[in-house]
Structure 1
Amino acid sequence: MVSSARDRQKQHWETILSANFGREYVENVTRIGNTHARIGLSPKWYIAGYAVLLDNMIRRIVSDCEIKRNRRFGRQPQTDLGEIVGTLIRVALLDIDLSVSTYLDKLRDDREAAQEEGTAALVAIAQALDQMTEGNMSVTLDEKVIEKAPILATSFNGLKAGIGVIIGDIRDVSSGVKDSSRSIRNNVETLRERATSQMGAISDITESSAILDRTVSDVLVQMQAATVTIDNFSTAVANGNGDVDALSLSIAQIGEAWRAMLTLVRDISEISTKIRMLALNAHIEASRAGEYGSGFSVIAESIRELAGITGKAAASITELAETSQESITSAEISARRTKVVLSDIGDGVGVVRDVVARIDEAMKTQSSGARANHEVASRLNQSANQSVEQANKMTESCDKLVDQSGVLTNLVLEFDRAPVEV
């Protein structure tokens, strides 16, 4: 390979030194420049090689000229050497210029071609990205595009794979969200139905507690009225005890008066009996006196009759007094019994008052409890209403979430996974 390059270089310089600068020369120089550009030989090495070559050639020319001049005894003009060296340098520079220009043109053409190919690769990648944005996840890059832009191609494939994973995750998540939303909606619907049922039960409890509160309040009012009535009755019983005591005292006083009067009537009855006996004796004595005692006899008879009437009246009064005494005694017994009964009634009223007071206190507590229960039931009813409203809102939100999950799933399903090469 080295000898072949040496031979071609020799032929090339033979062409140059023969001043044959035709098409063949231009083709050779162009081929050399393209070869240097293809193998990546920098112009500095080419120029350095020419420097070594020219140095040797100029030294050889100068040396040959010196020898020839010596042979001619120094008569050869110096202009011949300068012309030869100058021509050699001009030819060498021309050859260098053509070769380096070809080299640079080749590099420029390769760079422009690479730039065009890179631009085409970028356009292809951009088109692939555009297709991906339109939902075509099956797009792939051509091998030439991958060769021209390997870094971008690797990034594109990584981006595509990542987006594919994300889309798959989104599809799975959206499907899971949809299923979960439906499950949540069903659970919320069940919760809403239960809350509605509980709200009805709580409404019944609230109404019942309100009725209980009103009933307890009414009973409390009645108990307060009963307390007032019992207090009045207790006062009346106390007053009755006082009246019975006064009545017993009056009956006792009447009994004593009747007993005194009965004693007097008995004394009158005894006096009437004695008068009758005296009148009878006087009548007997008047009868014995005859005519002289007839007037006295009439008076004695009248006294006897009056004493008889008085005795009968005394007997009637005595009988009536005894009967009245029995009535008074019975009244005293009844008064004592009434006092005992009223005392028992007073004790019973006291017991009833205590019971009513305890019942009243219990009813107040019950009223407070019923009112508190009613308030709690009202709050529960309000809370149940709010729970139903929240459940309705959650149901609506779940429905919207299901719809949005369906839309998202449909969007994900629109991504085409069939391979399309770009």
Structure 2
Amino acid sequence: MAFAGLDGDLRDLLRRCRPQLEPHLKAGLRDYFHRLQSVPEAAGIFESEQQIERLHDLQASHWSVLSDARFDALYAERVKLLSDTESRMGLDPRWHLAGHSVMLEHLITGAVAGMSSRSILPASRKREQELNDLVSAIVRLVMVDAEIAVSLRFNELRLKHQRALTEQRQADQAQAVETFLSVVSALADRDLTAKVPDDMPDAYRELGDILNSAIGDLRTTFETVGETGIQADMLTDALSESARTFARTSENQSARLQKSGETLSSIAAGVRQSAVGTAAAEKATAATRRSAEDSGKVVGQAISAMADIEASAEKIGQIIGTIDEIAFQTNLLALNAGIEAARAGDSGRGFAVVAQEVRALAQRSAEAAREIKTLVNGTKTQVDAGVEMVHRTQGAIDGIVQQVSAINDTIAGIARDTGVQAEGLDVVTAHVSDLSQEVASNAVLARRSGEGADELQTVILELGRTVREFRIARQGRYDDDRSRPAARRPEIATDISPRAAAERIGSSETFYSKRQGIS
């Protein structure tokens, strides 16, 4: 009231002028309802004449109380009753405001007409002020009532809207709870085909999309797990069979390696014995070489002796030549002496005999010298032949020494090689023994890997049974796959090279360690 400026004086003025305003109130109501019934949009709101009459009576009662300008409990009751009735009828607040404009028009027109009909007196200025006050009071009265009525209608509309929102929210919540409960119940029953409908309320649509996405991902995961389980079952079966085959192969290889080790041990023992015999032969050959070298030395000494004999023969030849020359000179002297004795006659006869004897002695000496020379020449020839033979013997002995040395070197090399081979055979035998033990260990690991693969296959089968307990969109395809003949197992080579065997054994050992929880 204070804000609208409708104070006590203006309200008193309205009450004093009420009798002259009542006809205009009635005229305004008639005009208002005539317009309501004339406008199709407004007329279509009313279902019957009784509603129009009911609204007319309420409007008349309301304006009658309002014109008293008291704004008391009676006014509050009437304005609330009128607002509720218009709300139930579905009358829009704009028609209520339009009615206030019609009523305001009639009231102002009536007030002005009433004041103008009076005579103009010296107090007309006071009348003009009273008219202005009355018009102002009417406008403020109508505006205050309109504000109150509109506030009531909008409060009602707001409350109704809030109730509608609350009811809609509760309905949406109930629908969401029911929908999510059905989906969660389906998930509890291991049904992954459940889905939140697309027509969920906006407040729950994002949650529904998230749940559908999660269920879709879970369904895809289970499909993948199912397919992977089938492949893993096949692979673990093949792995188990391969491990068993590898274990059998490793056991056979271990047995063969053990036999090979024993054979190599026998060969190594024979090679060591051969090395001992070769060492003895080397010693005997060395002794033979030393004997041959000693023989060479003896032959050298013989050659030296033969050279000395040859030198002595040369000297004897020279001496024989001297003797032969002496015999020749003696013979010549004896011949000269005989000639001289013959010249001397009888006195020289004794000297001639001596000369004859000397000549005969010289001839015998010459003959003896010739014989000795012949013997010395023969001896020299024989000595030369002997020297030649001794030289040949020395060459042969030197060749024998060289051959014996070569044989000794060869035997020594054979002895060294035999020793090295014996040591190598010992190393190879040790390696074969170690390899046999490793292969035996590999066989044990392969058996453990086979057992681990069997356990893994059991776990995979259990996982497959658990996955098949869930119902998913493609469950039928898995059932068809299970009913079909088993697919061809992946081939895993059993003829394994040493490097591949080591790699597989390493992988098997790692797998077994993981199965046993060994870091």
Q: TM-score with structure 1 length normalisation?
A: 0.59
Partner of 1:288: none
Offset of residue 396 of structure 1? 3.8
| 1:111 aligns to 2:153 (yes or no) | no
Which residue pairs with 1:69 in the alignment? 115
Matches within 5 A, 1:299-378: 353-378=408-433
Aligned to 2:218: 163
The letter for the 1-side match of 2:85 is: N
Q: 1:236 to 1:64 in 2, by over 3 A?
A: same
Matched, 1:101 2:155: yes
Q: Give 1:175 deviation, angstroms.
A: 1.6
**What is residue 124 of structure 1 aligned with on the other side?**
178
Deviations 1:66-101 (A, max 9, x none): 122212347696576566545533443343233212
- Secondary structure of 1:183 counterpart: helix
1:183 pairs with one of 235, 238, 244: 238
Map residues 9-20 of structure 1 onto 2, 5 A cutoff.
11=52, 14-19=56-61
- Asked if residue 205 in structure 1 is aligned to residue 260 in structure 2, the reply is yes
2:56 partner letter: E
Question: Between Structure 1 and Structure 2, how many residues are aligned?
Answer: 316
Higher mean C-alpha deviation, range 92-101 or range 349-358: 349-358
For the Cα contact (< 8 Å) 2:79–2:149, is it kept in 1?
no
1:121–1:7 Cα change, 3 Å: closer
State how 1:23-422 maps to structure 2 within 5 Å.
25=82, 27-31=84-88, 54-55=100-101, 57-73=103-119, 81=135, 84-127=138-181, 128-129=183-184, 131-132=186-187, 135-141=190-196, 149-232=204-287, 234-235=289-290, 353-417=408-472
Q: Deviation digits for residues 173-224 of structure 1, max 9, x if unmatched?
A: 1121121111122122212221222222222223322332233223212322
| Cα distance in 2 between the residues matched to 1:130 and 1:414 | 15
Aligned-residue CA RMSD (Å): 4.5
Tell which has more relative contact order, 1 or 2 (C-alpha 8 A, sep 6+). Answer: 1
Contact between 1:121 and 1:149, CA under 8 Å: does it hold in 2? Answer: no
CA distance in 2, matches of 1:91, 1:13: 17
Cα distance in structure 2, aligned partners of 1:199 and 1:16: 116
2:4 paired residue number? none
Q: TM-score, normalised by structure 2?
A: 0.49
* Matching residue of 1:5: 42
Give the unaligned 5+ runs of structure 2.
1-36, 63-77, 302-389, 474-519
The alpha carbon displacement at 1:16 in A equals 4.7
Deviations 1:248-283 (A, max 9, x none): xxxxxxxxxxxxxxxxxxxxxxxxxxxxxxxxxxxx
Code of the residue aligned with 2:143 in structure 1: it is I
Report deviation, 1:382: 4.8
Quick check: 1:177–1:405 contact (8 Å CA) kept in 2?
A: yes
Residues 132-160 of structure 1, C-alpha deviations (whole Å, 9 max, x = no match): 26633243447875788444434433433
The residue type equivalent to 2:281 in the other structure is: A
In the TM superposition, residue 17 of structure 1 has moved relative to its aligned partner by 2.7
**Paired position in structure 2 for 1:285:** none
- 1:137·1:417 contact (CA, 8 Å) conserved in 2? yes
Taking the aligned partners of 1:392 and 1:32, their CA distance within structure 2 comes to 92
Verify the 8 A CA contact 1:121 1:148 in the aligned structure 2. no
Alpha-carbon distance, 1:108 to partner = 0.9
How far the C-alpha of 1:110 sits from its partner, in A, is: 1.7
Rounded Cα–Cα distance in structure 1 between residues aligned with 2:157 and 2:164: 10
1:116 Cα shift? 1.6
Residue 412 of structure 1, CA deviation: 1.2
- Cα 1:397–1:56 change in 2 (3 A) is farther
Structure 1 residue 398 displacement after superposition: 2.1
Q: How far apart, in 2, do the equivalents of 1:32 and 1:387 lie?
A: 96
Letter in 2 for 1:30: S
Structure with the higher helix share, 1 or 2: 1
Three-state SS of the structure 2 residue aligned to 1:72 is coil
Contact 1:15 1:25 survives alignment (8 Å): no
- Given that 1:132 and 1:139 are in contact with CA atoms closer than 8 Å, whether structure 2 keeps it comes out as yes
